[in-house]
Structure formats: structure tokens, C-alpha cells
Amino acid sequence: MTDADRPRATAKAGRHPTRPPVVQRRHGRAGSGAPEGRVFLYGLHTVEVALANPRRVIHAIYVTRNALARLEERNVVFPVPPQQVEPRWIDARVGEDAVHQGVLVETRPLEPVELTDLGRAKLILALDQVTDPHNVGAIMRSAVALGADALLTPTRHSATETGVLAKAASGAVDLITHIEVVNLARALTTLRGEGFTVIGLDSEGPATLEDTEAGKRTVLVLGAEGKGLRPVTREACDALARIDVPGAIKSLNVSNAAVLSLYVVGRKHAGA
């Protein structure tokens, strides 16, 4: 490794040059590229939101000279001193195709929130075994933009927090309440008992989402592309509804279906 490959603390941080951490990619979360128990987040906006989240445990911040200047222009507060590196140093850890914009944060994954901590939530989005991190990240971003209060996922067969997911979410990972449950159907039944109307999205649903009663508190449940909702999940819903589209292609990507369903139910709540 040459001197150019070694990260160094910035003058502003007031630290001496240090050797880069030993990164064992094969032991970290799948797709994270980070050491075991850690996750790499990258991209200016993603990192800016993560650093502002008091629930985040930040272990290290690596920035290029240009990225550091841009973050300082935004008055970003660094919980630990950033270390200056070359772009190729970050490329080696997240891949040359990753749009890292010259900033990489090593952090602990966020702890999921308990189902009992929903408070006065009115709109929840539940994902039944949706595993693609790009889709889940895009769904998180849309959920925040369209006013969803929480995202509910099963602990198994779901996308975990990685840099890929967080970049697709564009900061939403740190902005939305994320609840993980062992048994999704049981959690939906619990929410029904607490006054939520649980609506499963199904292309063969008997009525459109627009014509389905959503109640004052709603859980929208979306399944994985191709498989859809599992039978046990369908049985836990109050109703199944479809999204009708006018074009020749009648099916939607799950992230697009999430956008439309959140918009429809959001308008129902606004007009209630």
C-alpha cells in the first residue's frame, strides 16, 4: 500500500495520519463490504442524514478533500474526526461502481424499533419478504416522502441495512421508523386489534384500492415481486385490494406499487 492509499485525519480534526482499518468484507453484512457488525454508508446526502441521527453509532468517517469541503459548507457536525482519503481508497471498499461522492462512514446498523413503540402512527407500510435492497431503499424513500409513519418487515427473508440499500433510500433509513418482527402475520393481527385496517395489495384483489375502506389508521402490505403475498399474510389482512393501471403492462414494480398505494391512502386520510 502506498502513502496515497492511507487515510489521514484532516487538519480540522487535529489528528495524526493513521493506517486504514483492516476490512474483512466476507464477514460483514451481505452486500455491505464492512467488518462484522458494521455497515458502510456512502453518498453525501445519505451520510449527512446519518450523521444527524442521534441513534447512529458512528465509528469512522472517511472523506476526500472535495467531499469534506462540501460537507463543511453544509455545516455538518462530525461526531468523530473525519479522516482524509483518496477516492480510490473508498472505491476499494464499496466498489468502483458505487456512487460514493467521496464520503464513507463506518457505522453500526440501526436498532429496529419495537412494535409497541408506534405511538399515534396512522399509516404503516409492511413488506412481506421483499429482499432486493434497491427496491427496499426506494420504498423507504417514497414512504418518507409520502408521509408513512413506519416500515414493518419480517426479520428473515428481508433486505438488511447495507450501503446499497441506504444509498437507494437517500437518507430515509435514518428518517423512518423501522420495525422488524419475527412473525409478520401475527404482527398484522396485533395491529388490527389496535384499530388499524390492514390492506394487502394483490393484483387479483376484489376491489380497487380507491374503492376499499382504509379506516383512520392503515397498514398497507406489499409482497415480493412474482410471489406476491404469502397465504398466511393474506389471511391476516382485513381486505385485499388491487391497483388498476390503464396501460398494456398491468403489473408494477413493488417500489412503484408502494408509491401509488401510499398516495391513494394518504389522500383518503387527508379527506377523512
For residue range 127-153, list pLDDT tens digits in order: 999 999 999 999 999 999 999 999 999
Whether residue 33 is predicted with pLDDT greater than 80 in this model: the reply is no
Whether residue 194 is predicted with pLDDT greater than 50 in this model: the reply is yes
pLDDT for position 40: 95
pLDDT for position 116: 84
Beta strands (DSSP E) in the chain are 8-9, 39-42, 58-63, 83-84, 103-107, 123-128, 150-154, 177-181, 197-201, 207-208, 218-223, 239-242
pLDDT for position 204: 87
b/e for 131-153, b at 16 or more Cβ within 10 A? ebbebbbbbbbbbbebebbbbbb
The average pLDDT across 243-264 equals: 89
pLDDT digits (tens, 9 = 90+) for 67-103: 999 999 999 999 999 999 999 999 998 888 889 999 9
- Mapped onto helix, strand or coil, the DSSP state of residue 131 is coil
Which domains does the chain show, CATH number per domain? Answer: 3-107 (3.30.1330), 115-271 (3.40.1280.10)
Averaged pLDDT of the chain: 87
How many alpha carbons lie under 13 Å from residue 100 in its C-beta half-sphere? 29
Question: What distance in Å separates the CA atoms of residue 246 and residue 11, rounded to the nearest whole number?
Answer: 58
**251/97: higher pLDDT:** 97
Nearest to 269 by CA among 199, 207, 206: 199
pTM, to two decimals: 0.83
pLDDT for position 272: 67
Whether residue 176 is predicted with pLDDT greater than 90 in this model: the reply is yes
The average pLDDT across 165-194 equals: 94
pLDDT for position 247: 82
Say if residues 123 and 66 touch (Cβ distance below 8 Å).
no
Whether residue 264 is predicted with pLDDT greater than 80 in this model: the reply is yes
